[in-house]
Structure 1
Amino acid sequence: MTAGPDGPPGPLRDAEAVVLVGGQGVRLRPLTLSAPKPMLPTAGVPFLSHLLARIRAAGIEHVVLGTSYKAEVFAEHFGDGSAFGLELEYVVEDEPLDTAGAIRNVSHLLRERDVLVFNGDILSGLDLRSLVDTHRSSAAEVTLHLVKVDDPRQFGCVPTDADGRVTAFLEKTEDPPVDQINAGCYVFRRPVIEDIPAGRRVSVERETFPGLLADGKRLQGHVDSSYWLDMGTPAAYVRGSADLVRGELPSAALPGRPGEALVLPGARVAEDAVVDGGSTVGADAVVAAGAQVTGSMLFDGAHVGAGSEVRGCVIGAGARVGSGVTLRGAVIGDGAVVGDGCELLDGARVWPSVEIPAGGVRFSADRR
């Protein structure tokens, strides 16, 4: 079943999705103190909205969210999924189970032949139907989305043979033999999930996948060169949001047209202020006269004072940045205050409700 030229695709038959959203997002603190990482505002909506929009656009309708940290936030926002054209269900992980354990933990809600599994902090332009086609045409037990990276030393490598069959899973090394890495998206045959041990931590890369290879099962690689970004660090989070705003990765969930800036309803930007580089200005946020905001995110109710420069930063909800402030690569927590004339450089993090006094303070570390 396919769509007409102007409509969405038909259902992807015998397929459903699992999205793992249980992590605490430690690398993104202090932003994740108030919200799980997949629920952080990203190009005007929770990050998870962009992934769910891609899943729905591929024709998948049933999605199970594997939650843990602040689990209630997901259901409060997305409900049963009907407003998004989906059927959403939720499973709470009471204790850390690692990736394979978390997949096994939702297995009682699965009902289709093939299950797409997503890490909930990856931004990707992967063609999901093409991934499923690879999985089915190769008759694989599991198919892995693989991407090539410039420096694979910080990742585990996944070599494949001439037919795309995965041959090994290699730990991080200073001399990686290939540049292909696990991109955090898979297609499982449902019986494989049901065979994962229940009720304990299980790693896909250290236990499940090597065990399948040892048993002679087929694991297939789907190498793809489309947009891919792990959103786990503040710099990557800011970049991903900016890329969505500018349309470098199109998203049906973007609440506006792609461009240099996304200014949400109720925000106020002074006529002589500059907002560009894929910045987002949240609802009721303010960018005062002469300020420049480039490649940054202002959450709802944030305030940037007159003549301030904000580059590659995240300004939390209700936070206030004074006049004549310079921020580069900084993260300002919800409700924090940065006094006039301060300079906060790359790596600076101001935690929620902390107040940095005026007077030209310069730093590039945590303030709690």
Structure 2
Amino acid sequence: MKALVLAGGTGSRLRPITHTSAKQLVPIGNKPVLFYGLEAIRDSGIREVGIIVGETGAEVRRAVGDGSQFGLSVTYIPQEAPLGLAHCVLIAREFLGDDDFLMYLGDNFVIHGIRDFVTEFLARRPDAQLLLTKVANPSEFGVAELDQGGRVVRVEEKPKEPRSDLALVGIYMFTPLVHRIVAQLRPSARGELEITEAIQELILHQAAVSSHTISGYWKDTGRVEDMLECNRMVLENIAPRMEGSVDDESEAVGRVDIAEDAVVIRSRLVGPVSIGPGTVVADSYVGPFTSLGSGCRLDHTEIEYSIVMDHCSINGVSRIHNSLIGKNVEVSPAGPAPRGHQLVVGDHSRVRLNY
């Protein structure tokens, strides 16, 4: 069995972060979200992985390499434009060959992995196996309808009037039969080859389409709120680590992960907190559910429930919370001036100001 990982999306809902970074590489608990998926694939016993890449392909290649750091063998498959999930299957035909395969959206986050689902698929070998989860807003997802026996009888992409609250998680398993269906698809109204249409065609052809409803934790990390929630979930389970240094005037409370060469001076840390390699925290407060990337510097700052990516400088800021801060960002007070806000804001940004 092989795996097809989709890492070519543009991440429009995470702009402006994704103007310069692949959304699959935004960190959760100081590790790119894509890495969690690759580790889950490895732990399920799969070793050959094809990664669909788009305009951020070079960044993904640098981060993942040949896959050996995960115990995987990785092949990169360029996609000229985001033309749909089924289009990814179409262009991966040569890589996939006649093997069964797992399709995994690279920005999905599933607690407890997928090993049991893969094991069951290989044992029963339906033509398709879907992972589902109940959501409050099914019209924003692909939606599955089940009969009373739990068999999938219909799937639909972002329906205006959903027939159920069961969303497709973005993790699918297929036999080679799906290639025959995908080859005959035509673009949808939004110009994409839809994987939901391919699954619906399988159902109409009386193929065996099974499903599992995930009872654990799943997130599509497409929004800032989702990233912060996933970060919270990961930090809830971190093991304390003290490879950096904390001076005698500092206090670390709860589960705190301090990486090598990190330095904490005259500061208070309230876990769960993760501090990346080489980061310096001085005269500051770092509160729960915060991860600071590598090479950052915090001075006279208060921050909590936030993600700070690599090589940021935050100095003299009284309170930061519920924030996602990109790489190489500098945050500092404006200095003595009449009360006001000075903003340099990129396209598609969202700014919230307290008065």
Instruction: Report the TM-score, using the length of structure 1 for normalisation.
Output: 0.77
Q: How has the CA–CA distance of structure 1 residues 148 and 217 changed in structure 2, closer, same or farther, with 3 Å as cutoff?
A: same
After TM superposition, give the deviation of residue 342 of structure 1 in Å.
Answer: 6.7
Deviations 1:226-283 (A, max 9, x none): 110111111212222232223289xxxxx95895111011111124x22122211122
Tell me whether 1:268 sits opposite 2:280 in the alignment.
yes
CA–CA separation in structure 2 for the residues paired with 1:317 and 1:85: 28
Mapping for residues 34-183 of structure 1, pairs under 5 Å:
34-111=20-97, 113-125=99-111, 127-170=113-156, 172=158, 176-183=162-169
Partner of residue 245, structure 1:
235
Runs of 5+ consecutive residues of structure 2 not aligned to the other structure: 240-255, 260-270
**Structure 1 residue identity aligned to 2:314:** V
- Whether the aligned pair in 1 keeps the contact of 2:99 and 2:176 (CA below 8 Å) is yes
CA–CA separation in structure 2 for the residues paired with 1:246 and 1:57: 22
Q: 2:215 aligns with which of 225, 236, 239?
A: 225
Q: How has the CA–CA distance of structure 1 residues 31 and 22 changed in structure 2, closer, same or farther, with 3 Å as cutoff?
A: same
CA–CA separation in structure 1 for the residues paired with 2:20 and 2:202: 39
Partner of residue 289, structure 2:
278
- Whether the aligned pair in 2 keeps the contact of 1:66 and 1:102 (CA below 8 Å) is yes
Q: How has the CA–CA distance of structure 1 residues 306 and 96 changed in structure 2, closer, same or farther, with 3 Å as cutoff?
A: closer
Q: Which moved more, 1:238-247 or 1:82-91?
A: 238-247
After TM superposition, give the deviation of residue 135 of structure 1 in Å.
Answer: 2.7
**Structure 2 residue identity aligned to 1:180:** L
After TM superposition, give the deviation of residue 56 of structure 1 in Å.
Answer: 1.3
Partner of residue 8, structure 2:
22
- Whether the aligned pair in 2 keeps the contact of 1:135 and 1:220 (CA below 8 Å) is no
CA–CA separation in structure 1 for the residues paired with 2:50 and 2:174: 14
Q: Which moved more, 1:121-130 or 1:231-240?
A: 121-130
Tell me whether 1:351 sits opposite 2:313 in the alignment.
no
Tell me whether 1:303 sits opposite 2:313 in the alignment.
yes
- Whether the aligned pair in 1 keeps the contact of 2:44 and 2:119 (CA below 8 Å) is no
Q: How has the CA–CA distance of structure 1 residues 221 and 248 changed in structure 2, closer, same or farther, with 3 Å as cutoff?
A: farther
- Whether the aligned pair in 2 keeps the contact of 1:104 and 1:194 (CA below 8 Å) is no
Partner of residue 204, structure 1:
195
**Structure 2 residue identity aligned to 1:236:** D
CA–CA separation in structure 2 for the residues paired with 1:40 and 1:175: 33
Q: Matched residue of 1:350: which SS?
A: coil
CA–CA separation in structure 2 for the residues paired with 1:110 and 1:61: 13
CA–CA separation in structure 1 for the residues paired with 2:23 and 2:216: 23
Deviations 1:28-84 (A, max 9, x none): 111111121112233212221121111112221111101112212222222211122
How many residue pairs get matched? Answer: 319
Instruction: Report the TM-score, using the length of structure 2 for normalisation.
Output: 0.80
Tell me whether 1:321 sits opposite 2:331 in the alignment.
yes
Query: Which stretches of structure 1, 4 residues or more, deviate above 6 A after TM superposition?
Result: 339-344
**Structure 1 residue identity aligned to 2:218:** W
Quote the sequence identity (%): 25
Q: How has the CA–CA distance of structure 1 residues 209 and 174 changed in structure 2, closer, same or farther, with 3 Å as cutoff?
A: closer
Partner of residue 336, structure 1:
none
CA–CA separation in structure 2 for the residues paired with 1:151 and 1:186: 21
Partner of residue 249, structure 2:
none
Q: How has the CA–CA distance of structure 1 residues 94 and 308 changed in structure 2, closer, same or farther, with 3 Å as cutoff?
A: same
**Structure 2 residue identity aligned to 1:217:** A
Q: How has the CA–CA distance of structure 1 residues 261 and 127 changed in structure 2, closer, same or farther, with 3 Å as cutoff?
A: closer
After TM superposition, give the deviation of residue 172 of structure 1 in Å.
Answer: 4.3
**Structure 1 residue identity aligned to 2:63:** H
CA–CA separation in structure 1 for the residues paired with 2:178 and 2:138: 28
After TM superposition, give the deviation of residue 215 of structure 1 in Å.
Answer: 1.1
Q: CA RMSD in A?
A: 3.2
After TM superposition, give the deviation of residue 137 of structure 1 in Å.
Answer: 4.7
Q: Matched residue of 1:159: which SS?
A: strand
- Whether the aligned pair in 2 keeps the contact of 1:260 and 1:275 (CA below 8 Å) is no
